[in-house]
Copies of this chain bind each other. A is one copy, B any other.
Amino acid sequence: MRILVLGGDGYLGWPTSLYLSRRGHDVVVVDNFAKRDWEQEVGVQPLFPVPTLRSRLRAWHELAEIDIPARIGDLQDYRFVESLFSEFEPQAIVHYGEQPSAPYSMIGQPQATLTQVNNVVGNLNVLFAMRDRAPDAHLVKLGTMGEYGTPNIDIEEGFIDIEHNGRSDRLPFPKQPGSLYHLSKVHDSHNIMFACKVWSLRATDLNQGVVYGVETEETGLDDRLATSFHYDDVFGTALNRFCVQAVADHPLTLYGRGNQTRGFLNIVDTLRCVELALLNPAERGEFRVFNQFTEQFSVSQLAGLVKEAAAEMGMNVRIDHLPNPRVEMEDHYYNAKHTKLLDLGLEPHQLSETLIDTMLGKIRRFRERIDTALFAPRATWRPKEYAEPALVAPMASVPSYERPVSRN
């Protein structure tokens, strides 16, 4: 299958590209390194050294004898997107190419605007290019479980049957996203649903849970293939950060009481889910939503698991509760359905002490690279005057970002 992997330089895009290319697909990596710019902007770095995309592709060629072409450009540039489609005539597009951080989107007006414009316009451009150049191709779009928020009812996969005043319909599941980033994904989902209906495109929206993991089978083959693993306040996710904190002998930092419950999945399952979506494409005109996670945990359950695994390795881990920088319910009902990918054959890698051991082991090898100053949350959901100042480090290191949008 000819597949464009948009955002193919990122934490998930890179391993996905290796995984799919190794299984015989013709993969093209597309990226503009915007994520590397955003890392500089907020002053963070991935834990494992990440070579340039060219070097990583050369390493992959050496190790696997596979050539993956790369195209560098911005999805906001429609001529660039069109040129990808004419050059490669993709049969599928795996779209990871978006600003992926909720805290980044909440830093301030410039970052909020950048996030929504970058994500919405890039995605719209992909839809237009599909309409005009590849109407039969299949879009596999990365969304997030965070689009749903935490409603007091079971979360279905994209759509819900509603009975109301004696009539009924199957309607899009109501969305209550929890950050301006999550909102951008909700906007994308609505735009894609419309494009499928009006232009008879086919799309799978993967509402993904929180991903954890340090490596995949392919990236583990060589340090030069390492993926961009973050443990900081902006791009890091809960379990990954906890493991790094444990190794750094730093308390695990829970936001608030830690009863917030979310869906989680192993990075290797992300790759398999994307593959399953590709191998079982949506129909023409179909907008399909899969909830892509394998287990639900509360954040304090996760911290407890890391504490136990670390204890067995002789580390003594403390757990700290920080005032929550986000606005979210800390005690809530959460039951999200996630059967569609299982029905297609997903065999989940459950989170186990063994896995956490492996993560801690690999992180230990890069221990001197850990910067403990990057653990504390800086972006706050409430305006600054409402935030507890002691717990919110100033964003002084964030340069003012020029207005990313202009009509001229």
The answer to whether A162 and B162 touch across the interface, beta carbons within 8 angstroms, is yes
Query: CB-nearest residue of chain B relative to A81?
Result: B109
Instruction: State the number of copies, please.
Output: 2
A 157-199 to B, binary, CB cutoff 8 A, 1 in contact else 0: 0001011110111011111111110010011001101100111
A392 within 8 A of B: no
The answer to whether B154 and A405 touch across the interface, beta carbons within 8 angstroms, is no
A404 within 8 A of B: yes
A120 within 8 A of B: yes
Interface size class of A (residues with CB under 8 A): 35 or more
Question: What's the Cα separation between A63 and B151 when bound, in Å?
Answer: 54
Residues of B near A197 (CB, < 8 A) are: 327
The answer to whether B151 and A128 touch across the interface, beta carbons within 8 angstroms, is no
Partner of A167, one of B77, B78, B154: B154
A 126-158 to B, binary, CB cutoff 8 A, 1 in contact else 0: 001001100100000000000000011110000
A333 within 8 A of B: yes
A125 within 8 A of B: yes
A365 within 8 A of B: no
A324 within 8 A of B: no
Query: CB-nearest residue of chain B relative to A191?
Result: B183
The answer to whether A151 and B169 touch across the interface, beta carbons within 8 angstroms, is yes
The answer to whether A128 and B109 touch across the interface, beta carbons within 8 angstroms, is yes
12 contacts between A and B (CB under 8 A): A109-B124, A112-B124, A113-B121, A116-B120, A116-B124, A116-B187, A117-B120, A152-B168, A171-B176, A173-B174, A199-B383, A404-B406
> A residues within 8 Å of B by Cβ?
34, 74, 76-79, 108-110, 112-114, 116-118, 120-121, 124-125, 128, 131-132, 135, 151-154, 160, 162-165, 167-169, 171-180, 183, 186-187, 190-191, 193-194, 197-199, 327, 333, 381-383, 403-407
